[in-house]
Amino acid sequence: MDEFDVEEHASPELDDPVLVEGLPGVGHVGKLVAEHLLEEFEEAQLVRRVYSEHFPPQVAVDDDGTTTMACAEFHAVPTDGRDLLLLSGDHQATDAPGHYRLTDRFLDTADEFGVERAFALGGVPTGELIEEYAVVGAATDDDQVAELADAGVEFRDDEPAGGIVGVSGLLLGLGERRGLPTACLMGETSGYLVDPKSARAVLEVLQAVVDFDVGYEALEDRAEEMEAVIKRIQEMEQGSQAPNDEDLRYIG
């Protein structure tokens, strides 16, 4: 195997496609959106699988007992509006140079499919449970900032405080250097739980800006499951066995 190994599964023509990235991160917000899109659009088609020595050295065991090596996947997702080129997976790189190289390779694939706009999806941690799910934004240029602000995305001074890290951050950084308009949509989330409600807030913005239709049923189901989990935790907190922050981290 080389540093990268890009497996071609299909190469359909896409109509003015938009890259949408939903790799793991805070509250698994981006990943939830990606999974939801794959579930809702049945015509979604695996087009590329990217293996790399920069991923963790591991295989996942699927329900049928077969294994899949750590990878990222691109799916072509035709919608009633613009087509999506969806980037999803279970891993980020294991080292800093690996993040740069992986993201660069992802952008190469986006280029191949004629992508001229990109969205990186993620969460921004607030540290507390949330009632109203705002979506915070960042973008490579002023035009997108204006467009997204019109769509209800919030732009706040010094937020997220630590910048945007990992593949999401570098899609903006390296995207800008290639002249690819890229925006990051970050759903507010406690940071303690897998957060389908935050994912829904992000998806609603994406849908409005990219202009496609999608149902929310699967996300609503997951949100209800999480409500039950949160309720159980709150009851525990009032009881004697209060879980500490550590217990709360990434339940779901």
- Residue carrying structure tokens 């195997």: 1
Q: State in Å, rounded, how far the first CA of the chain is from the last one.
A: 35
For residue 143, the minimal CB distance to a second copy (Å) is 10
CB distance 81 to 65 below 8 Å: no
User: Is the CB of 45 or the CB of 94 nearer to a second copy?
Assistant: 94
User: Is the CB of 197 or the CB of 222 nearer to a second copy?
Assistant: 222
Positions that interact with a second copy (CB under 8 A): 1, 3, 5, 51, 53-61, 63-70, 93-101, 103-104, 137-142, 145, 149, 155, 157-160, 162-167, 169-170, 172-174, 176-177, 184
For residue 84, the minimal CB distance to a second copy (Å) is 22
For residue 214, the minimal CB distance to a second copy (Å) is 26
- Residue carrying structure tokens 């590329």: 48
For residue 53, the minimal CB distance to a second copy (Å) is 4
Amino acid at 221: D
> Which tokens in the block code for residue 77?
């997702």
User: Is the CB of 44 or the CB of 229 nearer to a second copy?
Assistant: 229
User: Is the CB of 191 or the CB of 197 nearer to a second copy?
Assistant: 191
Q: Are strands 4-8 and 18-22 parallel, antiparallel or unpaired?
A: unpaired
Give the relative orientation of helices 142-150 and 196-210 as an angle to the nearest 10 degrees: 110
Residue 234 burial class via C-beta count within 10 angstroms: exposed 0-12, middle 13-18, buried 19 and up: exposed
User: Is the CB of 20 or the CB of 138 nearer to a second copy?
Assistant: 138
For residue 150, the minimal CB distance to a second copy (Å) is 13
